[in-house]
C-alpha cells in the first residue's frame, strides 16, 4: 500500500465525511437502527454518536485498519458495544444466517469492488423482518450529470479509494433481493456528479408485508 492510501486517504475520508450535509443525514437516519447492527464500511466511526439506546451492539466491517483506528477512538466515548471486523464486505462474515436486526451502510457501496456479492452477504445475515438503512451517493437521473459521472469515475476511483460515482444504488439493492420500503433521492450541496444521494430503508423481500 502506498503512502497516499495509508496515510493521506484515511484522513481525507474522515474529514470529507464530516460535512454539514452528511451530519444532517446521519442524524436523520441512524437513530432508526435497532438491536444487533451490522455496519458495512464503518470507516472512522462517524455514525457511532447517532445510534440510539435500542442498539445492543454494532459489528463494524471495514478493510481499512487506519480508519478502524479512528473508529476505535470514537467508540471509547460512546455507550455502545462495537465489535470490529477487519475484512471486506464481500467476504463471508462471521455471523450466522438471519442474525442481525439492522444493517447500516453509509457512503460505502460506491467503494465496494463487488456490490452484488456484498449485498448477498448482507441479505444472508439480515433477519426476515430486519432493515437495511442506506445513505449512498450514486448515478444521477439527469443525462448530462450521469455522463460526467461516467467520464470522471475512472480517475475519481484512483484518488478516492475505489469510489464510483455512477452506481445505480436502488437498482443494485433491488437486484440483490431487497425490497425498498422508503427512498428519498436528490442532490446535496456541492458538485452534482458527487452529490446525487439515495437515502432510504430496504427490507428482505421475504419480510411479511
Ligand X SMILES: C[S@@+](CC[C@H](N)C(=O)[O-])C[C@H]1O[C@@H](n2cnc3c(N)ncnc32)[C@H](O)[C@@H]1O
Q: Where are the alpha helices (DSSP H) in 44-127?
A: 65-76, 115-125
Count, residues near ligand X per rule CB under 6 A: 21
Which residue's beta carbon is nearest to the bound ligand X?
43
Angle in degrees, CA 39, 40, 45, rounded to 5 = 60
What does the per-residue mask of binding to ligand X show for 134-163, with x meaning CB under 6 A? ---------------------------x--
Rounded distance between C-alpha atoms, residue 151 and residue 145, angstroms: 10
What does the per-residue mask of binding to ligand X show for 104-123, with x meaning CB under 6 A? --xxx--xxx----------
Rounded distance between C-alpha atoms, residue 112 and residue 134, angstroms: 14
Residue in 64, 102, 149, 153 binding ligand X, rule: CB under 6 A: 64
3-state secondary structure of 69: helix
202 binds ligand X (CB under 6 A): no
- What residues numbered 165-184 form the site for ligand X, per CB under 6 A? none
3-state secondary structure of 153: helix
Smallest gap from residue 51 Cβ to ligand X (A): 13
Rounded distance between C-alpha atoms, residue 46 and residue 60, angstroms: 12
- What residues numbered 4-63 form the site for ligand X, per CB under 6 A? 13, 17, 40-41, 43, 46, 61-63
Q: Are 142 and 171 in contact (CB under 8 A)?
A: no
CA 180 to chain centroid, in Å, comes to 16
19 vs 205, beta carbon nearer ligand X:
19
Positions touching ligand X (CB under 6 A) are 13, 17, 40-41, 43, 46, 61-64, 67, 88-90, 106-108, 111-113, 161
Amino acid at each position: 500500500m502506498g503512502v497516499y492510501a495509508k496515510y493521506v486517504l484515511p484522513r481525507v475520508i474522515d474529514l470529507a465525511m464530516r460535512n454539514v450535509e452528511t451530519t444532517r443525514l446521519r442524524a436523520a437516519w441512524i437513530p432508526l437502527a435497532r438491536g444487533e447492527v451490522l455496519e458495512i464500511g464503518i470507516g472512522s466511526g462517524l455514525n457511532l454518536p447517532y445510534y440510539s439506546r435500542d442498539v445492543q451492539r454494532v459489528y463494524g466491517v471495514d478493510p481499512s485498519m487506519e480508519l478502524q483506528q479512528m473508529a476505535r477512538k470514537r467508540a471509547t466515548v460512546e455507550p455502545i458495544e462495537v465489535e470490529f471486523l477487519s475484512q471486506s464486505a464481500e467476504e463471508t462474515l462471521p455471523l450466522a444466517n438471519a442474525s442481525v436486526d439492522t444493517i447500516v451502510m453509509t457512503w460505502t457501496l460506491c467503494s465496494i469492488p463487488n456490490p452484488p456479492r456484498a449485498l448477498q452477504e448482507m441479505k444472508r445475515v439480515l433477519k426476515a423482518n430486519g432493515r437495511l438503512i442506506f445513505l449512498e451517493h450514486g448515478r444521477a437521473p439527469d443525462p448530462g450529470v450521469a455522463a460526467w459521472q461516467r467520464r470522471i469515475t475512472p480517475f475519481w476511483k484512483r484518488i478516492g479509494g475505489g469510489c464510483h460515482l455512477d452506481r445505480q444504488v436502488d437498482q443494485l439493492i433491488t437486484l440483490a433481493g431487497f425490497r425498498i420500503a422508503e427512498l428519498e433521492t436528490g442532490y446535496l450541496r456541492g458538485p452534482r456528479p458527487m452529490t446525487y444521494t439515495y437515502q432510504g430503508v430496504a427490507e428482505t423481500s421475504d419480510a411479511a408485508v
